Structure 1
Amino acid sequence: MIWGFGKAPFFWWRPRPDWRALLLWPLGAIYGAVTARRMQRRPDGSVSVPVVCIGNFVAGGVGKTPFSLALAAELAGRGYSPVFLLRGYGGKAKGPVLVDRKSHSALDVGDEALLLAKDWPTVVSRDRLAGGQFAASHGDIVIMDDGFQNPRLQKDFSIVLVDAQTGTGNGFCLPAGPLRAPLRRQIVAASALAVIGEGEAAKPAVRLASRKGLPLFHARLETTPDPELAGARVLAFAGIGRPEKFFASLRELGAEIAIEKPFPDHHPYSYSEAEALLTEADDKGLLLVTTAKDMVRIQSLTGEFPRWLAGRARVVDVNMRIEEAERLCERIGEAARSKALKVAGAGVRRFDGTPDNA
């Protein structure tokens, strides 16, 4: 997450607000109230297929993209044809546009869109409603990667992710804390809560979800084993929401991290930065290691140093495992059937795409 143009402030994640958070609290209160009011606005429109939103309460990375990929695989295994919809953060395309990995780069559609498009149809659109209408022609269930606070498109099922280690931070809203709106105001728009990883920091959100009667799910990130990293001395670099999680995963694989290079989320690498990473790794005899999201951004650059960096840096793959996937898909199926009845009753078209009078 970029706050200004840097990394999210560390004081956001302290359990209790410190003097900086208290100083910024009035601004946070205004920002949170505006966002909460916007969330309560009636959606501008809907589409004829179910829309499942994967969101979070806070600014910053919590694993929405790997969770979205895992959910798409689970739904596909149950007969659905998922299509992704996202804003395309970091890209210049306004859309709606169907992502083509051969012709689009991260500069066009953003890094997350390229990762999603590797396996499933993916639509990028600044306008979520227009994007949803376009996406509905490419699948029978739309999965929104982010957009929980955006009221443009009617959502049929919203899964909010909470990191078990960081939770909702100090409980304040931007810029005093990481929340996009007060937690109590946001949770009323959720259909389910998913706790990612192990830890105690998600308890405030879990308690509120329990009071509202929301179903609770658990998931965890799993790093793909890589024997070549065991014992290797590496220069690890990452421009994701929480680079420290990536560094911790490398250590779990047995890598010896000689140098850590954290960058802001969605960081647009430059030609000079690619040269500097290569030079430092060469000078100290280190293996370059990064994430899949960083790699697609590097591959979007031109010139010899970015090309060499893309060829030399090793990518560590991570996957999300949803522990109660069957129960989650059942809940989504109920929402999908409810949507189908509403669409058929409105005389638009049935969930299977046939006209209502067919």
Structure 2
Amino acid sequence: MRTPAFWYRPPGLAAWVLAPLGALYGLGGALRRRRAVPQRAGVPVVCVGNLVAGGAGKTPVCLALSRMLAALGHRVHFLTRGHGGRERGPLAVDPARHTAADVGDEALLLAASAPAWVSRDRVAGARAAAAAGATVVVMDDGFQNPHLAHDLALVVADGAVGFGNGFLIPAGPLREPVAAGLARAGAVVVMGEDRAGVAAQAPGLPILRAALVPDGAGWRGRRVLAFAGIGRPAKFFDTLAAVGAVVVERVPFPDHHPYTPDTVMDLVERAARLNARPATTAKDAVRLPHEARAMVDVLPVRAVWQDGDAVRRLLPAVP
């Protein structure tokens, strides 16, 4: 799904017309959470979620937490639904065998760092991870899933756009009302400068500040045709410009877009005509056909904490 532009503008006609559908969407989610009885996994579960549809930086935050938990002595396993993949799980992800069509793009990124599990049934997935030796499970997304009990839930918000126009899907980007979601959170992670006033909407909650830091070595002056199929492609395009790349064309795709060989070859040929190289995100790269990956440049990013000690104080201790 391509993120509608009006989601991140002041509410207009489209938002108000769709607001009744958003109210029904919110009611359905609230009833689902009210009826559920959260189940324990047998090990601590750290949930990294958000309140909006689309990307806010959850996967880089999961990877940053994994490094921190591992340094504290934990055996970290990741858990994800496997959005965009066909496998229902519980399934241990094998990057040498599985593709994004099997397990989704986030699962492959996570599995490159620590053991990762795909499971539509989050309780079953977390218990499988615990049985395989995990001492803590870091769940990428799933904040709105009421079946698995969390020991810590972090809500990630993009400081540039926050919670959008404040309306629920499809009238806006929200999966649930902001106040209801933050009432279940243990802390809010604000990614980048808080231009949208996220912290002001979370009184009483710890605010953890982080930034997505690109590995920009060698990009200055490089001519690129930038493409991305993430929640907010413009964020990636701006990051490329910030590291000094010359972005000659910007090509947005819907989130989790499955790239075909023909699509990639079209991008490569368009870039060549512009005397440029195609460039994309690490998340997009795992969805490229294997034979096309050498033809595309990838800009890796990682989440960096402003105050790592504040994060560590919230994390579960090693048993």
Q: Does 1:186 align with 2:169?
A: no
Query: 1:230 Cα deviation (Å)?
Result: 1.4
Q: 2: distance between equivalents of 1:322 and 1:41? A: 36
DSSP 3-state at the match of 1:219: strand
Q: Does 1:225 align with 2:225?
A: no
In the superposition, the TM-score normalised over structure 1's length comes to 0.86
Task: Provide, for residues 4-28 of structure 1, a one-character-per-residue CA deviation record: whole Å limited to 9, x for no partner.
Answer: xxx11111101x3101100001111
Q: Does 1:17 align with 2:11?
A: yes
Query: 1:35 Cα deviation (Å)?
Result: 1.2
User: Which residue does 1:344 correspond to in 2?
Assistant: none
In structure 2, give the amino acid aligned to 1:326. Answer: D
Q: Does 1:113 align with 2:112?
A: no
In structure 1, give the amino acid aligned to 2:315. Answer: I
Q: 2: distance between equivalents of 1:101 and 1:13? A: 35
User: Which residue does 1:303 correspond to in 2?
Assistant: none
Alignment: residue pair count: 318
Task: Provide, for residues 180-216 of structure 1, a one-character-per-residue CA deviation record: whole Å limited to 9, x for no partner.
Answer: 1111111111111111101321x2x423421xx2211
User: Which residue does 1:297 correspond to in 2?
Assistant: 287
**1:148-167 superposed matches below 5 A:** 148-167=143-162
Alignment partner of 1:175 out of 158, 165, 170: 170
DSSP 3-state at the match of 1:260: strand
User: Which residue does 2:202 correspond to in 1?
Assistant: 209
User: Which residue does 2:277 correspond to in 1?
Assistant: 287
DSSP 3-state at the match of 1:189: coil
Q: Does 1:143 align with 2:138?
A: yes
Q: 2: distance between equivalents of 1:323 and 1:37? A: 37
Query: 1:263 Cα deviation (Å)?
Result: 0.7
Q: Does 1:79 align with 2:62?
A: no
Contact 1:36 1:182 (C-alpha < 8 Å) held by counterparts: no
Could you tell me which runs of 5 or more consecutive residues in structure 1 were left unpaired when the two chains were aligned.
301-306, 338-350, 352-358
What root-mean-square deviation, in Å, do the aligned CA atoms of Structure 1 and Structure 2 show?
Answer: 1.4
Query: 1:282 Cα deviation (Å)?
Result: 2.3
In structure 2, give the amino acid aligned to 1:313. Answer: V
Contact 1:197 1:218 (C-alpha < 8 Å) held by counterparts: yes
DSSP 3-state at the match of 1:267: coil
User: Which residue does 1:199 correspond to in 2?
Assistant: 194
Task: Provide, for residues 68-94 of structure 1, a one-character-per-residue CA deviation record: whole Å limited to 9, x for no partner.
Answer: 000110111111111100000111111
In structure 2, give the amino acid aligned to 1:121. Answer: P
Alignment partner of 1:125 out of 107, 112, 119: 119
In the superposition, the TM-score normalised over structure 2's length comes to 0.96
Structure having the higher helix fraction is: 1
User: Which residue does 2:307 correspond to in 1?
Assistant: 324
Q: 2: distance between equivalents of 1:193 and 1:282? A: 43
Q: Does 1:49 align with 2:43?
A: yes
DSSP 3-state at the match of 1:123: strand
In structure 1, give the amino acid aligned to 2:44. Answer: P
Alignment partner of 1:261 out of 234, 251, 256: 251
**1:88-99 superposed matches below 5 A:** 88-99=82-93
Q: 1: distance between equivalents of 2:73 and 2:279? A: 37
Query: 1:43 Cα deviation (Å)?
Result: 3.1
Q: Percent identity?
A: 45
Task: Provide, for residues 111-167 of structure 1, a one-character-per-residue CA deviation record: whole Å limited to 9, x for no partner.
Answer: 110010001000000111111110112310000000000011111110001111101
In structure 2, give the amino acid aligned to 1:214. Answer: L
Contact 2:79 2:140 (C-alpha < 8 Å) held by counterparts: yes
Q: 2: distance between equivalents of 1:252 and 1:313? A: 19
Contact 1:36 1:186 (C-alpha < 8 Å) held by counterparts: no
DSSP 3-state at the match of 1:273: helix
In structure 1, give the amino acid aligned to 2:200. Answer: R
Instruction: Flag the 1:234–1:253 CA change in 2: closer, same or farther, 3 A.
Output: same
Contact 2:241 2:247 (C-alpha < 8 Å) held by counterparts: yes
Could you tell me which runs of 5 or more consecutive residues in structure 2 were left unpaired when the two chains were aligned.
none
Q: 2: distance between equivalents of 1:10 and 1:43? A: 37
Q: 1: distance between equivalents of 2:177 and 2:33? A: 11
User: Which residue does 1:104 correspond to in 2?
Assistant: 98
DSSP 3-state at the match of 2:314: helix
Q: 2: distance between equivalents of 1:326 and 1:299? A: 40
Q: 1: distance between equivalents of 2:143 and 2:307? A: 22
